[in-house]
Amino acid sequence: MKKNIHPQYNITEVNCLCGNKFQIGSTIDHIEVEICAKCHPFYTGEQKIIDTANRVKSFNERKKTADTIKKINIKKENTKESRQSKEARPMTLRDMMQSLSQ
């Protein structure tokens, strides 16, 4: 039978970016977190955007680019439709009769 297959379970210190330190039981020696109960908006009641990797900024940039592309495509479609409506009008009975006689 195998012995000692499980990792060692120790009391570990957790450090938050806000400066809070607390201890938990874990198999990892040291843990660093970006947010904890002392600085999390749910517990503090403050509304703040936590953006450590600039994801909100990049999302807003992508959204702005997509909106401009969408506006350009709508303008192109409107000009195509107006051009097509002028060029491809429905044939009248007279036009149909003339095309048959030719």
Number of domains forming the structure of the chain: 2
Same domain, 21 and 35: yes
Angle among Cα 8, 37, 49 to the nearest 5 degrees reads 120
Does any domain span residue 75? yes
* One domain, residues 56 and 46: no
Can you give the CATH number for the domain in which 9 is found?
A: 4.10.80.400
Q: Do residue 35 and residue 62 come from a single domain?
A: no
Q: Which domain holds residue 40?
A: 1-50
pTM: 0.42
12 and 46 share one domain: yes
Residues 44-101: pLDDT tens digits? 777 766 666 788 888 999 999 999 999 988 888 877 666 665 566 777 888 888 888 8
Contact 33, 47 (CB under 8 A): no
